[in-house]
Amino acid sequence: MLIFKKIFNFYYTGFKEMNIGKQLWIIILIKLFIMFAILKLFFFPNFLKSKFETDEERSDYVIEQLTNPK
């Protein structure tokens, strides 16, 4: 348990004593929010996963695309 407490304290004091790091963490968190909560969720669905249920259907679709592109 002591080791976990030491690791926790290491990070806790590290974050607490940050100077410019605080500003950078805000930027990182905003960036990650935009990327995962907005862009990924609303604009970047996985095309094949969202359109088809099984890998077999996905294979058939891609083969169709490759052999008879439209």
Nearer to another protein, 1 or 69 (CB): 69
Least Å from the CB of residue 68 to another protein: 7
User: In the structure encoding, which two tokens stand for residue 40, read together?
Assistant: 């990924």
Nearer to another protein, 1 or 66 (CB): 66
Q: Which residues bind another protein (CB under 8 A)?
A: 10-11, 13-15, 17-21, 23-25, 27-28, 31-32, 34-35, 39-40, 43-49, 55, 58-60, 62-70
Give the DSSP per-residue string, 26-43.
HHHHHHHIIIIIIIIIII
Cβ–Cβ under 8 Å, residues 2 and 8: no
